[in-house]
């Protein structure tokens, strides 16, 4: 009897932002999530309840017969706990979901391993739609690569193979595109809050900025005083940040970088 890819039994090691989104998305597509591990019982229990799985807070109690183990832990915790995580569970396929960790972290610990990296920003409070999210797959064997691509393809229309080096550069670019950009929003919200203004007034601007780069290159989409290096406005705004020396430094560095890039 032919088994569908959704019959795969999956154990999640980690119950954070990414694991929550991924486990729930796979569960909704019919995959069997058999167990969730988390260091904290509340996190483990909440995700396990959402996907009808068992849970544990003890590495030694992680099931030994899952076909696929998905590890979504913070980088340091993952590397530190790796020997304990895999002990006695050598039969399954082990993958991590990190952009920054090379695949060979598994070497010498398990026989079958790989990477299952969805490139997106995740929060527990907001479940994402995976259909447009790119997945980057890497494994040690063509069969396992094909298997992981099949699973990713159930969720997304954008599934690619990528080496560890390529993935690390994708992750670096994602830090600039997402994490640093969001930090700019946080700084803007802080400036507005000083005058009792809501960040909501920025949302149409934020949305249009994001829409523009669907149709033109980021360099061509750039506007503002730094592009033309309008020193009068730049100096005035630097003066306005006199009581925020760190933001003043960020403003100066970014303005210089924008001008340099727009001059080429």
Q: What is the pTM of this model?
A: 0.89
pLDDT for position 1: 41
Backbone angles phi, psi at 251, to 5 degrees: -60, -45
Q: Give the list of residues 6+ apart from residue 33 with CB closer than 8 angstroms, or none.
A: 10, 11, 12, 23, 26, 27, 51, 52, 53
Whether 5-162 shares its CATH topology with 168-263 is answered: no
pLDDT for position 3: 66
Domain boundaries, the chain: 5-162, 168-263
Q: Return the closest-CA partner of residue 103 out of 111, 95, 215.
A: 95
CB 260 within 8 A of CB 228: no
Q: What is the CATH number of domain 168-263?
A: 1.10.1040.20
CB 4 within 8 A of CB 151: no
User: 241: exposed, middle or buried (C-beta count within 10 Å: 0-12, 13-18, 19+)?
Assistant: middle
Q: Return the closest-CA partner of residue 25 out of 126, 136, 140.
A: 126
Q: What is the CATH number of domain 5-162?
A: 3.40.50.720
Low-confidence ranges of the chain (pLDDT < 50): 1-2
User: According to DSSP H, which parts of 123-202 are helical?
Assistant: 142-155, 164-174, 181-193
191-249 per-position pLDDT tens digit:
999 999 999 999 999 999 999 999 999 999 999 999 998 999 999 999 999 999 999 99
Three-state DSSP state, 159: strand
Strands 113-118, 135-139: parallel, antiparallel or unpaired by DSSP?
antiparallel
Angle at 83 between CA 79 and CA 84, to 5 degrees: 105
Q: Give the list of residues 6+ apart from residue 125 with CB closer than 8 angstroms, or none.
A: none
């Amino acid at each position: 009897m032919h088994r569908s890819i959704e019959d795969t039994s999956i154990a999640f090691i980690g119950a954070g932002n990414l694991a929550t989104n991924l486990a729930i998305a796979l569960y909704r597509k019919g995959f069997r999530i058999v167990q969730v591990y988390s260091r904290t019982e509340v996190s483990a229990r909440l995700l396990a309840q959402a996907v009808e799985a068992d849970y544990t807070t003890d590495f030694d109690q992680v099931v030994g017969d899952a076909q696929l183990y998905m590890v979504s832990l913070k980088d340091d915790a993952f590397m530190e706990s790796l020997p304990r995580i895999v002990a006695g569970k050598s039969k399954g396929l082990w993958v991590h979901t990190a952009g920054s960790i090379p695949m060979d972290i598994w070497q010498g610990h398990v026989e079958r391993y790989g990477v299952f990296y969805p490139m997106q920003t995740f929060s527990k409070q907001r479940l994402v739609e995976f259909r447009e999210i790119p997945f980057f797959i890497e494994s040690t064997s063509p069969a396992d690569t094909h298997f992981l691509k099949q699973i990713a393809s159930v969720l997304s229309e954008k599934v690619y193979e990528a080496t560890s080096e390529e993935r690390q550069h994708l992750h670096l670019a994602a830090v600039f595109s997402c994490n640093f950009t969001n930090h700019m929003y946080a700084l803007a919200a802080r400036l507005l809050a000083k005058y009792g203004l809501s960040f909501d007034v920025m949302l149409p601007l934020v949305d249009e900025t994001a829409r523009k780069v669907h149709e033109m290159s980021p360099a061509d989409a750039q506007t503002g005083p730094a592009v033309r290096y309008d020193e009068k406005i730049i100096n005035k705004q630097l003066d306005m940040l006199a009581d925020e020396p760190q933001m003043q430094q960020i403003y100066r560095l970014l303005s210089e970088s924008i001008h340099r890039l727009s001059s080429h």
